[in-house]
Structure 1
Amino acid sequence: MPSRVIKSLFFALLTGLYAAPALSAPCGNTSAGFAAWKTAFVTEARSAGVGQKGLAALKGAQYATKTIWADRNQKSFKYSLEKFMQVRGADTIVALGRKRKARNPAFYTSLEKHYGVPAGVLLAIHGMETAFGNFMGDSNVISAITTLAYDCRRSDFFTPHALAALKLVDEGAISAGSIGAKHGELGHTQFLPGNILRYGVDGNGDGRVDLTNETDALASTAHYLNKKGWKRGKGFQQGQPNFEVIKEWNAAGVYQKAIAIMGAGIDR
């Protein structure tokens, strides 16, 4: 083999080695390896562009035992649709959703005009996720999302969201002490951190995206559904075009059907 070919192959191999991404931090199924995982995850976070504030938040993260318990014991999605609607208080959500829409019709009309998503769907999501903002969680977001990124069960899914959360800390959109749901979701409609970065909207025009602000949260929810393919003026019940978009909001079939049914009830 000519020497120049050997040199070319060697250079290609060397380049490939140095260009290869850093190995992911090893996952685990108990709290025992969390500290070591955080140390390894620092390298991954730096490579992803996380700065000093985000890295400091990562350092302070604690293994979220309650998050793991919640993730292992999700029972409601095993219910029948009838049982799920009863447990989630569908009649109350519809009644309150109608009242909220009637109190501020111009706001919901403006969202539908801009994004194509009707009020009923947004209000059904708002009611289902946080009882219209009355309970937005009780868990430290950074601890919850990094615990899920570490946990082997769904590490691949939650790792990008963990990196996004750390970037949000860098940007000042959230802090190391921000509180959300047990899976790291934030705000009125419970956005995961990666979705805040990608779909978050400054709905009230104050120059920042804050999902604990109702206007920002509902505008962001409408924007999310719009970007997922919402078809203006089309139906959103099972078998209709926009039901496929509702599936993008939550993977559980019973949840998807509940949003569609309650959304129609609110808009009736």
Structure 2
Amino acid sequence: MRRTLLKFLAAATLSLSAGAAVAASCGNTSAGFDAWKREFAAEAQRAGVGQRGIDALMSAGYSSYTIKVDRSQKGVKYPLDEFIRIRLGSVDGFAAQVRKRRDQNPQFFRSIEQRYGVPAGILLAIHGMETGFGRTMGNVPVVSSITTVAYDCRRASFFTPHAIAALKMVDRGMLSPSQQGAAHGELGHTQFLPGNALRYGVDGNGDGRVDFYNQFDALASTANFLRQKGWQPGQPFGQGTANFRVLNEWNAATVYQQAIALVAQKVG
């Protein structure tokens, strides 16, 4: 799952914190978390969070695991061949998995490409790299993890809008208060941060709701995200192209972008 790149979506989500007159006090240990939650509840209410979201906030626990992971991040520094070996095994083998999944739901992927212009190979490469096609979506409660990093002084300004978004998602029934995700609040099959889930989420399976733990909703939302970030339908996506640069909006590691493009090109 994605763990290394958390600064690529800030501009798209800062508006979620509009209306907050005074920010809650941050902290660097668990000691002040409960007091911060009380302060943050008022901030969240000013931003439009309802009672269900506030209840989820007040039930959240300080995630020591999230802080441990956040403190130990080192970024992606592998050369491409090593990154592929570690994350994919091989381009050919991974592409075969992607192709098999595409061929299991050809109509869905055709409809997604017709609507957003993003090929199945791109979407499924992301799906496989983020969560192993949904096998490992995280085991940390999303509300606890995202509020923990919103409280933490190191990057409170970045994560606060995502924390508010997560609480709004609880309000709207898009997220269970106890739903588990990755260490920094990334959720679902393709590991959206909550602010981006709220902004770019779409109903991919036609059931009238947006659920990032449903692979069709998650994949359609990923396609919508890429299109909104500038993806050009029908255009190439190899390194050096405009579409390749759009992949930077999803993950800022060049080797990650290269791996996505190589797999998708192999899939065809």
Q: Please report the TM-score for the alignment, with normalisation by the length of structure 1.
A: 0.88
Residue 9 of structure 2 is matched in structure 1 by none
Q: Secondary structure at the match of 1:77?
A: coil
Match in the other structure for 1:16: none
Distance 2:256 2:154 in 1: 22
Alignment of 1:97-246 (within 5 A): 97-246=98-247
Ranges of 4+ aligned residues in structure 1 off by more than 4 Å: none
Alignment partners' CA distance in 1, 2:99 and 2:28: 44
Q: Distance in 2 between matches of 1:157 and 1:150?
A: 11
Q: Percent identity?
A: 60
Measure the CA separation in 2 of the matches of 1:81 and 1:101.
25
Take 1:97 and 1:170, find their aligned partners in 2: how far apart are those partners? Answer: 35
Moved more, 139-148 or 248-257: 248-257
Q: What is the deviation of 1:22?
A: 2.0
Structure number, greater radius of gyration: 1
Task: Decide whether aligned partners of structure 1 residues 32 and 254 sit closer, same or farther in structure 2, where only a CA change above 3 A counts.
Answer: farther
In the alignment, what sits opposite 1:11? none
Per the TM alignment, residue 90 of structure 1 is displaced from its structure 2 partner at its CA by 4.6
Single out whichever of 184-193 and 257-266 deviates more from structure 2. 257-266
Aligned mates of 2:20, 2:99 — CA distance in 1: 51
TM-fit CA distance, 1:89:
1.9
Contact 1:93 1:131 in 2 (8 A): no
**1:30 deviation in Å?**
1.7
The aligned residue for residue 95 of structure 1 is 96
Residue 52 of structure 1 pairs with residue 51 of structure 2:
yes
1:62 pairs with 2:66: no
- The one-letter amino acid of 1:195's match is N
**d(CA) in 2 for partners of 1:237 and 1:157?**
31
Give ranges in structure 1 of 5+ residues lacking alignment: 1-19
Partner Cα distance (1:140, 1:130) in 2: 16
**Aligned partners of 2:52 and 2:20: how far apart in 1?**
23
- Please report how far the alpha carbon of residue 151 of structure 1 lies from its aligned counterpart in structure 2 after TM superposition: 1.3
- RMSD of aligned Cα (Å): 1.5
TM-superposed deviation, 1:179: 0.9
1:18-33 correspondence to structure 2 within 5 Å: 21-33=20-32
Q: What's 1:260 paired with?
A: 261
Q: Write out per-residue CA displacement over residues 33-76 of structure 1, whole angstroms, 9 at most, x where no aligned residue.
A: 21221111111101101111111111111111111111222346
Give the match for residue 12 of structure 1. Answer: none
Higher relative contact order (Cα pairs below 8 Å, separated by 6+ residues) = 2
- Counterpart CA distance in 2 for 1:172 and 1:102 is 32
Q: 8 Å contact 2:76–2:253 — kept in the other structure? A: yes
Count, aligned residues: 248
What code does the residue aligned with 2:86 have? V
| Contact 1:124–1:259 (Cα < 8 Å) also in 2 | yes
- Which secondary structure state, in structure 1, belongs to the residue aligned with residue 76 of structure 2? helix
Task: Choose 97-106 or 138-147, whichever is displaced more.
Answer: 97-106
